[in-house]
């Protein structure tokens, strides 16, 4: 599958998954997902739970002050709190904590719960941001519109209300007008394939804090050992001849310090998450017109 950048005024396909609605099913400790409410997010992992949870936290440098823990063994999906996140997104979509500020802006604009986006949908968002930053373009929602396991962390990781969008809610999105046409032209100039983005590329793009060596930078190199830009890397038809290496830098600040403004850190402990707005409440309920259209289609079919 290719990613052409912002080429049409239609809302982006975020692979919304109505089947993940909290009332649809219950979860056992061997099933998958991430959940939470105004104070926590939950992750269920299969045995041995504690070891896998600790490995997940260490692997992705998830902030320890987010109070990671396992849910009760009798936890049911029907009592799913407001903020849930599937742990598989860390493995398959390039999402990291602290979350990308752009990703949070996309979720807030479309009023959709992060767990209702399958990994491919999240990969589209992350790839778009990496592509923008590789071209020196600040990713915005307006520009973007042109185009199995759970653990507990503090809900402060996403500091706004996330509605669980009803599959029969009305999705409307007016054609954007306030965008830079030059940015659009540059973004759609090359096809970028959706694929796993190496950790070093996420780090250089400011979307991951998982970097152990402050004296080195992640550097992209071709098979002939010449360095390449992130944009050149994204446009390659195959990654077989490209590598990401740790190489010393002579700067006074580590790579994490140079790209620290692209994620949203959790607010202080005790911060109250805003209540749902009328618009956010509306998307959690079926829209009569959408339901009527579905019924008519089923009758005619």
What was the pLDDT predicted at 32?
33
pLDDT tens, per residue, the chain with 301 residues: 333 333 333 444 444 443 333 333 333 332 333 333 333 443 433 334 678 888 888 888 888 887 776 666 665 544 445 445 667 778 878 889 888 999 999 888 888 878 777 777 888 889 999 989 999 999 998 888 875 454 545 666 667 777 777 777 877 767 777 888 899 889 888 878 888 889 999 999 999 998 989 999 999 999 899 999 999 999 888 877 889 999 999 898 999 999 988 988 888 878 888 888 888 888 888 888 888 887 878 787 6
Q: What angle do CA 16, 22, 28 make, to 5 degrees?
A: 115
Instruction: Return phi, psi of residue 11, to 5°.
Output: -60, 140
CA–centroid distance for 26 within its chain: 24
What is the Cα 33 distance to its own chain's centre? 14
As a whole number of angstroms, the distance between CA 264 and CA 108 comes to 13
pLDDT at site 74: 64
Domain boundaries, the chain: 2-300
Q: Report yes or no: 58 and 163 within 8 Å, Cβ to Cβ.
A: no
Alpha-carbon span 277 to 275, nearest angstrom: 6
Q: Identify whether the C-beta of residue 46 lies closer than 8 Å to the C-beta of residue 29.
A: yes
Beta bridge partners of 193: 2
Residue indicated by tokens 């912002």: 6
Q: Which residue has the tokens 């998307």?
A: 283
What's the DSSP call for residue 75? -
Contact 193, 225 (CB under 8 A): no
223-255 b/e (C-beta count within 10 Å ≥ 16 → b): eeeeeeebbebbbeeeeeebebeeeeeeeeebb
What DSSP state is assigned to residue 16?
B
pTM over 0.75: no
Q: Strand, coil or helix: what is 148? A: coil
Please report, for residues 114, 183, 296, the alpha-carbon distance to residue 146 in angstroms, rounded to integers and kept in the order given: 21, 11, 31
Q: What does the alpha-carbon distance between residue 151 and residue 153 come to, in Å, rounded to a whole number?
A: 7
């Amino acid at each position: 599958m290719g990613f052409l950048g912002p080429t049409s005024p239609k809302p982006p396909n975020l692979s919304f998954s109505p089947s993940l609605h909290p009332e649809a099913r219950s979860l056992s400790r061997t099933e998958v997902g991430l959940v939470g409410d105004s104070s926590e997010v939950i992750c269920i992992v299969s045995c041995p739970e504690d070891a896998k949870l600790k490995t997940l936290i260490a692997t992705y440098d998830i902030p320890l002050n987010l109070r990671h823990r396992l849910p009760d063994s009798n936890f049911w999906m029907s009592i799913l709190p407001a903020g849930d996140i599937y742990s598989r997104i860390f493995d398959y979509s390039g999402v990291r904590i602290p979350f990308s500020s752009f990703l949070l802006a996309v979720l807030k604009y479309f009023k959709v719960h992060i767990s209702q986006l399958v990994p491919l949908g999240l990969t589209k968002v992350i790839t778009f941001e990496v592509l923008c930053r590789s071209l020196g373009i600040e990713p915005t929602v307006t520009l973007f519109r042109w185009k199995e396991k759970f653990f507990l962390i503090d809900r402060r990781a996403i500091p706004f209300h996330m509605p669980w969008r009803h599959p029969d809610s009305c999705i409307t999105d007016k054609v954007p007008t306030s965008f830079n046409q030059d940015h659009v032209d540059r973004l759609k100039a090359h096809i970028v394939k959706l694929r796993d983005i190496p950790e070093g590329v996420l780090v250089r793009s400011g979307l991951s804090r998982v970097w152990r060596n402050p004296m080195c930078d992640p550097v992209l190199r071709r098979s002939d050992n010449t360095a390449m830009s992130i944009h050149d890397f994204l446009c390659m038809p195959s990654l077989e001849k490209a590598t990401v290496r740790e190489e010393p830098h002579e700067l006074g600040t580590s790579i994490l310090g140079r790209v620290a403004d692209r994620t949203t850190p959790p607010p202080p402990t005790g911060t109250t998450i805003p209540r749902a707005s009328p618009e956010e409440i509306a998307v959690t309920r079926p829209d009569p017109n959408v339901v009527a259209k579905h019924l008519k289609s089923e009758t005619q079919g």
